[in-house]
Amino acid sequence: MEKQLLRFKVNGDEYEVYINPKTLLAEVIRDHLGFTGTKRGCETVSCGACTVNVNGFSVKSCSVLAIQCQDMDVTTVEGLEKNGKLSPIQRAFLDNGSYQCGFCTPGMLMSSTAFLEELKGEVPTEEKIRESIEGNVCRCTGYNSIVRAIDAVAQGKYKEE
């Protein structure tokens, strides 16, 4: 199978990788580039552990062909930290204990980051917050603390450091 050149940005850096066109975005991110923060869970677009943001939109990287991200801008959980400082939603997760085993956390962080950016300062209802993580499953049932963390950031309690 002839390999294809994939040129794209991950967490602000340019990458060029030669891949078999069937390679999934989650495989390129984890196995080719070594960003193992992105988790592979169900592999059937159900659990959301593999969520990354492509051009600002959350997608499930287990079910996106990497080659379709040509020239696009991908952010993984490793890209949320800026200059060694955690992002507001990361700090809110820490303060609210929004994780137990941690497997869903990278996906939860990416979905909530996309949601908070979309809000543009508007304060959401709890229902809207819950809808924003509808595509992410947490099997430790820690949803309430995750909702509290997203709410705290949406209320402006955490600023970019």
Chain residues that interact with another protein, rule: CB under 8 A: 1-2, 4, 20-22, 24, 43-45, 48, 51, 54, 57-60, 63-65, 67-68, 70, 111, 114, 131-132, 134-136
Minimum CB distance to another protein, residue 46 (Å): 8
Minimum CB distance to another protein, residue 34 (Å): 22
CB atoms within 10 A of CB 151: 17
Complex with another protein: residue 6 or 152, whichever CB lies closer = 6
Question: Do residues 129 and 154 lie in contact, with contact meaning Cβ atoms separated by under 8 Å?
Answer: yes
Complex with another protein: residue 45 or 94, whichever CB lies closer = 45
Minimum CB distance to another protein, residue 152 (Å): 21
Return the half-sphere exposure (C-beta side, CA atoms, 13 A cut-off) of residue 17.
24
Complex with another protein: residue 1 or 141, whichever CB lies closer = 1
Minimum CB distance to another protein, residue 67 (Å): 6
Complex with another protein: residue 37 or 48, whichever CB lies closer = 48
Complex with another protein: residue 59 or 91, whichever CB lies closer = 59
Minimum CB distance to another protein, residue 22 (Å): 4
In order of 21, 53, 112, 126, the CA distances from 118 in angstroms are 31, 12, 10, 16
The helix (run of H) or strand (run of E) holding residue 60 is strand 57-60
Residue 159, Ramachandran bin (φ over 0: left; ψ between -120 and 50: alpha; else beta): beta
CA distance 116 to 123: 9
